């Protein structure tokens, strides 16, 4: 069981290296363009190093907590069956895809000064809880990323062949040590890496819930350098530091995660005997209850706050919604086409560049490259699709790669014996085994592409506003009620797209 | 969907070619400007009725975009620059003098600038909910000495123009004592947000009692929502002046049209649209012509302002006082 069937390198990779270089170029090219325009790199001051230190440790703590909490939640979801489980799993994906400002308002409705928690503690005569501070930043990052970690780890659980659980149960063998720990060792470092990198580029969340300048991240310093000082050299330098940190840590973690050693199964529906004892059942129920309460209460508050606003939404908002959905579908198609050949270790590293790079610097670099060739507004649509795809790739690859590696290891030799190669290999052997992760990945990409896109601010001409932009416009015009309606619309559409794709892939989950 | 968007783009391109005889004036504006409730549509209709031209807005980033585009910029005019970027804008050499007589300006500060023309203004102020704050602070000192359970939200001076105005305001009132003033304010500051929208959202959600905003903010609630529970606390120490500006690009290929637009900015037609679409004060309109809700607003007696050179020299120091006091 510990031996892999075939060295992975001996299987065809459809020129993955070339694809990886292409994707890396799409990030490194624009950053280089900014450095070139700036005429070099800039110097960093003491405040920048403070920001760097805060960025690093909050990202590490946020990612560590997200993954640690996700393990028991995912285990509970993997071994218990109850009505509404599918809907709960889909809903748990929601926080990750919310625009920052919407999620923050939802969190504050629960944990803020007048939030539910403080109303409760007030009624009980307990001291008020203050959310603002380092703990607020971490709470928000766990709120955003616990669902992603849970889904990544749950997927690992569901990928353990049903026959192994049956065997373990009949032998009375410890499931945890033999099946679950090896799976976690394989999945958890990658999940940590991708969440760590997301938290590195956090900005508005950290600032708002951090309560002030102590919670300054590198991304804020980049924003300041670009917007206020127009100091491209400094912005580029900070972006390079951020990139190096993200890629360095991701590289270390991905190298650490061992390959799969389970061997193939027969795709039977998993039956779990280990979750049937009363203590195990109780423990699982507690974890599921905790996750549902923590993640769904803020969402419920967003829905409640948004309902009155839905009635007063201007026509522009509905048009923007339609536009956002089309962009999301286009970006999803592009991302999947890019992702399949990239689902290798090199590809995943190249893909991580997309989320490790500062959106502002990426957008500026693309603008500098496009501008001599055509009017930037004409490039707005392709650039939007490309940037969306770049942003979603790291998540998609993290979802696809473990499953694809497993499929190659389990069936690669058989396929090679039968002479199945190239397109046929994908069609007959690999894609059918990727149904579940592909559905999840497509859903996530579509939902993420509905979300915030500060990156293309330079390309926009104002004619084709997307829904998140429209939401900000409503707020800027004091229309807070309509803005909350738009937030609800955005939440509904993102979740709807996510659910549709994910459902398609989760036929037997 | 994608195909349809591309097709729509092609149709738009054809339409542009057909209209080639009509001169086009390209105006770069802030993002909020051209939405249906912003000032853009009214200004576009008003100007097109005079110029026999087509006014086209490009909204989004303003100065960073123009600096990146450099001499290739398509902009003829830019509207919505703030006084903190005029120094950088001037030094770029991309902007041309407007050549207008600015004696009609009705600003509370003297304004002599041959390039950047104010089209609206306001002042920083702390806005509060009358139902929650029964006795608002009567002065800045009062605010500093208010009990620590008064909940304030402000904006970050490193990412927001109103946040920057606040640190300059504190500097103008307290000078070398600015850091001590910030230390007194710090326990009352619930949080600092990236921009104005986030802060104001927190305030209307009841997360804070007072928010850093503008003296004109209550006018929106009074006029558009018929809600008079919001008010701005007026301080005798003075309020910081905030202004938005328009300017003509030196590279414009439509200098006559651009000049005509700059002149239009000072007309009563343009100015009277500002209050209830931009929710700020018009730069060249006597008070008796303001809408009723604006005339009734309490206005500061004293207005504080640093010109672009003073502000540039003070900025780092003022931000550092804020940062070190709030980082403790």
Secondary structure class of A456 (helix, strand, coil): helix
Q: What φ, ψ does residue B192 adopt, rounded to 5°? A: -120, 130
In this structure, the number of other CB atoms found within 10 A of the CB of residue B16 comes to 12
Mean local confidence (pLDDT), B128-133: 93
Separation of alpha carbons A19 and A26, rounded Å: 11
What is residue A15's predicted lDDT score, i.e. its pLDDT?
Answer: 67
First to last CA, chain A: 25
* Residues within 8 A of B (CB atoms), A 232-261 only: none
Best mutation target, A388, A477, A480, to test chain B (most B CBs within 10 A)? A477
Q: Determine the CATH number of domain A23-505.
A: 1.10.3720.10
Residue A263 CB coordination number (10 Å): 16
Q: How close is the nearest chain B Cα to the Cα of A232, in Å?
A: 10
Give me the residues of A, 292-321, that contact B with CB < 8 A. 305, 314, 316
pLDDT at A138: 93
Q: What is the mean pLDDT of residues A59-67?
A: 95
All residues of chain B having their beta carbon less than 8 Å from the beta carbon of residue A316 are 35-36
> What's the pLDDT at A4?
44
Q: Which helix (H) or strand (E) covers residue A239, if one does?
A: helix A232-256
Interface contacts A/B by beta carbons within 8 Å: 167
The model's pTM is: 0.86
The mean pLDDT of B44-71, rounded to a whole number, is: 90
- How much is the pLDDT for B94? 95
Q: Is A225 left (phi over 0), alpha (psi -120 to 50) or beta?
A: alpha
Q: Is the pLDDT of residue B195 over 50?
A: yes
- pLDDT (mean) for A77-90: 85
As given in the structure block, the two tokens for residue A267 are 């795709």
Crossing angle (nearest 10°) for helices A181-200 and A134-158: 140
- Both tokens assigned to A246: 């993200």
Q: Are A93 and A151 in contact (CB under 8 A)?
A: yes
Q: What is the mean pLDDT of residues B39-44?
A: 94
DSSP A146-158: HHHHHHHHHHHHH
Q: For the segment A481-503, what is each residue's pLDDT rounded down to a tens digit?
A: 888 899 899 888 988 888 888 88
pLDDT of residue A126: 84
Tell me, yes or no, if A227 comes closer than 8 A to chain B by beta carbon.
yes
List of residues 6+ apart from B45 with CB closer than 8 A = none
Which of A170-179, A226-235, B286-295 shows the lowest per-residue confidence on average (mean pLDDT)?
A170-179
Q: Please answer whether residues B216 and B281 qualify as being in contact, where contact means their C-beta atoms are separated by less than 8 angstroms.
A: yes
Angle between helices A100-111 and B196-204 (to 10 degrees): 30
Please give the domain boundaries of chain B with CATH numbers for all domains: 2-121+242-295 (3.40.190.10), 122-241+302-327 (3.40.190.10)
Q: What's the token pair of residue A497? A: 């797209």
Strand, helix or coil at A383?
Answer: helix
- Range with the largest mean pLDDT of A73-87, A332-346, B299-313: B299-313
Cα(B248)–Cα(B90) distance, integer angstroms? 11
* Chain B residues with CB-CB distance to A458 below 8 A: 60-61, 64-65, 68
- Residues of chain B in contact with residue A227, where contact means CB-CB under 8 angstroms, are 64, 159
pLDDT at B238: 96
pLDDT at residue number B266? 96
Q: Is the pLDDT of residue B11 over 60?
A: no
* Average pLDDT over every residue of A419-441: 78
Higher pLDDT among residues A428 and B5, named by residue: A428
Look up residue A212 and give its two tokens. 């002030």
Give every CB contact of residue A406 below 8 A, 6+ residues apart in sequence.
A159, A260, A262, A433
Asked if pLDDT for residue A13 goes beyond 60, the answer is: no
Residue of B nearest to A327 (CA): B2
Residue B26 to residue B254: CA distance in whole angstroms = 9
- pLDDT higher than 80, residue A198: yes
* String of DSSP letters for A194-238: HHHHHHHT--HHHHHHHTSGGG--HHHHHHHHHHTS--HHHHHHH
Q: Angle, nearest 10°, between helix axes A181-200 and A380-417?
A: 160
Going by C-alpha positions, the residue among A444, A247, A424, A419 that lies closest to residue A339 is A444
Evaluated on CA atoms A357, A360, A361, A364, the torsion sign reads: positive
Mean pLDDT of the A204-220 span: 85
CB-CB under 8 Å, B60 with A371: no
| Closest of A376, A363, A381, A388 to residue A452, by C-alpha | A388
Residue A469 above 90 pLDDT?
A: no
The pLDDT, as a whole number, for residue B71 is 86
Query: What pLDDT does residue A141 have?
Result: 93
Q: How far is CA A219 from CA A259, A354, B164, in A?
A: 34, 15, 18
Domain boundaries, chain A: 23-505
pLDDT at A339 over 70: yes
Cβ contact (<8 Å) for A460 and B60?
yes
Query: Which of B32, B190, B279 is facing A132, going by the closest CB pair?
Result: B190
**pLDDT number for residue A507:** 57
Phi, psi values for residue A371, rounded to 5°: -55, -40
CB within 8 Å: B61 and A457:
yes
Whether A500 contacts chain B with CB within 8 A: no
The arithmetic mean of pLDDT across residues B278-295, rounded, is 94
Alpha carbons B196 and A473: distance in angstroms, whole number: 12
**What does the pLDDT look like over B50-63, one tens digit per residue?**
999 999 998 888 88
* pLDDT band of B247, cuts 50, 70, 90: very high
Indicate the pLDDT class of residue A152, thresholds 50, 70 and 90: confident
Summarize the confidence of residues A403-423 as an average pLDDT: 77
Name the least confident of A158-172, A195-209, A290-304, B257-271: A158-172
A193 three-state secondary structure? helix
Give the whole-angstrom CA distance, residue A179 versus residue A77.
16
pLDDT score for A2:
41
Preferred mutation among A129, A361, A473 to probe B, highest tally of B CBs within 10 A: A473
Task: List, for residues B210-238, the tens digit of each pLDDT value.
Answer: 999 999 999 999 999 999 999 999 999 99
What per-residue confidence (pLDDT) applies to A454?
Answer: 59
| Max Cα–Cα distance, chain A, nearest Å | 73
Say yes or no to pLDDT of A47 above 60: yes
pLDDT recorded at residue A269: 63
pLDDT, greater one: B143 or A459 = B143
Flag whether pLDDT at A312 surpasses 60.
yes
**What average pLDDT does the structure give for chain A?**
82
Q: Scanning every residue of chain A, which has its alpha carbon at the shortest distance from the alpha carbon of B219?
A: A478
Name the percent of chain A lying above pLDDT 70: 90
Six-digit token pair at A5? Answer: 């069937």
Which one of B16, B60, B218, B311 makes the best mutation probe of the A interface by having the most chain A beta carbons within 10 Å?
Answer: B60
Helices (H), A112-203: 116-123, 134-158, 162-171, 175, 181-200
Question: Does A267 contact B at CB distance below 8 Å?
Answer: no
- Residue A6's pLDDT is what? 42
User: What percent of chain A has a predicted confidence (pLDDT) above 90?
Assistant: 17
Token pair 């993640």 is found at A295
Contact B298, B217 (CB under 8 A): no
Residue B58 bridge partners (DSSP): B28
- The pLDDT score that the predictor gives to residue B325 is 94
Q: In chain A, what residues touch B214 (CB-CB under 8 Å)?
A: none
Smallest CA–CA distance, residue A378 to chain B, in Å, is: 8
Nearest CB to B151: which of A113, A305, A326?
A: A113
Q: Summarize pLDDT for A222-239 with one digit per residue, the tens.
A: 888 888 888 899 999 999
Whose structure tokens read 């060249």?
B284
- The reported pLDDT for the residue numbered A428 is 72
| Contact predicate A496/A432, CB 8 Å | no
Contacts of B191 in chain A (CB under 8 A): 132, 208-212
pLDDT at A316: 83
Alpha helix (H) residue ranges in A266-379: 278-310, 315-342, 345-356, 359-370
Contact in structure between A153 and A66 (CB atoms under 8 Å): no
Of A184-198, A301-315, B160-174, which has the strongest mean pLDDT? B160-174
């Amino acid at each position: 069981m510990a031996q892999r069937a075939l060295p992975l390198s001996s299987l065809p990779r459809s020129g993955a290296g070339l694809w990886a270089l292409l994707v890396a170029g799409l990030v490194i090219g624009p950053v280089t363009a900014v450095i070139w325009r700036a005429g070099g790199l800039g110097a960093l001051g003491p405040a920048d190093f403070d920001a760097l230190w805060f960025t690093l440790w909050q990202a590490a703590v946020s990612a560590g907590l997200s993954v640690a909490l996700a393990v028991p939640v995912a285990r509970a979801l993997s071994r218990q069956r109850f009505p509404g489980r599918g809907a709960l799993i889909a809903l748990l994906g929601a926080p990750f895809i919310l625009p920052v400002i919407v999620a923050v308002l939802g969190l504050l409705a629960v944990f803020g000064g007048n939030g539910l928690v403080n109303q409760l503690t007030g009624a009980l005569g307990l001291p008020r809880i203050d959310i603002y501070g380092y703990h607020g930043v971490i709470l928000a990052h766990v709120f955003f990323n616990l669902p992603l970690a849970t889904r990544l780890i749950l997927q690992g659980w569901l990928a353990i062949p049903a026959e192994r659980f049956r065997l373990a149960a009949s032998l009375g063998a410890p499931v945890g040590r033999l099946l679950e720990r090896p799976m976690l060792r394989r999945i958890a470092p990658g999940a940590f890496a991708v969440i760590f990198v997301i938290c590195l580029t956090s900005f508005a969340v950290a600032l708002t819930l951090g309560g002030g300048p102590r919670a300054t991240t590198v991304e804020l310093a980049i924003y300041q350098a670009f917007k206020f000082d127009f100091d491209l050299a400094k912005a580029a330098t900070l972006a390079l530091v951020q990139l190096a940190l993200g890629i360095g840590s991701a590289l270390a973690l991905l190298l650490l995660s061992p390959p799969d050693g389970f061997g193939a199964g027969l795709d039977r529906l998993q039956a779990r005997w280990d979750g049937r004892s009363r203590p195990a059942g109780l423990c699982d129920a507690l974890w599921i209850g905790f996750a549902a309460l923590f993640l769904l209460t803020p969402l419920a508050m967003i829905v409640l706050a948004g309902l009155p606003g839905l009635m007063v939404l201007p026509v522009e908002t509905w048009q923007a919604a339609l536009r956002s959905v089309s962009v999301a579908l286009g970006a999803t198609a592009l991302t999947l086409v890019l992702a399949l050949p990239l689902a290798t270790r090199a590809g995943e590293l190249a893909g991580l560049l997309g989320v490790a790079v500062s959106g502002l610097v990426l957008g500026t670099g693309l603008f500098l490259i496009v501008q001599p060739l055509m009017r930037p507004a004409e490039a707005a649509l392709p650039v939007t699709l490309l940037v969306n795809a770049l942003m979603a790739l790291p998540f998609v690859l993290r979802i696809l790669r473990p499953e694809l590696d497993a499929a190659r290891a389990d069936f690669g030799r058989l396929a090679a014996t039968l002479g199945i190669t190239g397109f046929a290999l994908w069609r007959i052997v690999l894609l059918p085994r990727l149904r579940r992760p592909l559905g999840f990945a497509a859903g996530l990409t579509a939902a993420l592409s509905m979300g915030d896109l500060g990156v293309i601010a330079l390309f926009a001409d104002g004619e084709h506003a997307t829904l998140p932009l429209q939401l900000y416009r409503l707020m800027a015009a004091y229309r807070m009620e309509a803005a909350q309606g738009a937030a609800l619309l955005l939440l509904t559409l993102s979740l709807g797209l996510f659910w549709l794709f994910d459902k398609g892939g989760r036929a037997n989950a | 969907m994608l195909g349809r968007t591309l097709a729509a783009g092609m149709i738009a391109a054809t339409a542009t070619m057909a209209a080639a005889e009509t001169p086009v004036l390209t105006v770069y504006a802030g993002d909020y400007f051209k939405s249906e409730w912003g000032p853009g549509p009214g200004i576009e209709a008003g100007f097109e009725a005079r110029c026999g031209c087509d006014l086209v807005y490009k909204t989004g980033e303003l100065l960073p975009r123009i600096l990146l585009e450099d001499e290739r910029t398509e902009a003829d005019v830019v509207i919505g620059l703030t006084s903190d970027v005029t120094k950088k804008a001037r030094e770029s050499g991309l902007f041309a003098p407007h050549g207008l007589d600015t004696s009609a300006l009705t600003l509370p500060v003297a304004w002599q600038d041959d390039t950047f023309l104010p089209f609206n203004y306001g002042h920083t102020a702390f806005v509060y909910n009358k139902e929650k704050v029964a006795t608002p602070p009567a002065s800045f000192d009062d605010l500093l000495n208010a009990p620590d359970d008064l909940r304030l939200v402000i904006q970050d001076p490193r990412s927001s123009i109103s946040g920057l105005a606040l640190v300059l305001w504190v500097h103008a009132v307290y000078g070398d004592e600015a850091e001590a003033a910030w230390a007194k304010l710090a326990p009352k500051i619930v949080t600092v947000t990236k921009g104005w929208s986030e802060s104001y959202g927190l305030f209307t959600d009841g997360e804070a009692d007072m928010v850093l905003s503008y003296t004109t903010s209550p006018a929106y609630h009074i006029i558009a929502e018929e809600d008079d529970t919001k008010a701005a606390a007026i301080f005798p120490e003075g309020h910081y002046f905030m202004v938005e500006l328009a300017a003509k690009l030196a590279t414009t290929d439509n200098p006559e049209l651009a000049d005509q637009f700059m002149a239009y900015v000072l007309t009563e037609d343009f100015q009277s649209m500002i209050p209830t679409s931009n929710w700020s004060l018009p730069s060249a309109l006597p008070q008796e012509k303001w809408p009723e809700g604006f005339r009734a607003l309490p206005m500061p007696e004293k207005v504080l302002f640093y010109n672009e050179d003073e502000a540039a020299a003070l900025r780092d120091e003022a931000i550092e006082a804020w940062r070190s006091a709030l980082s403790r």
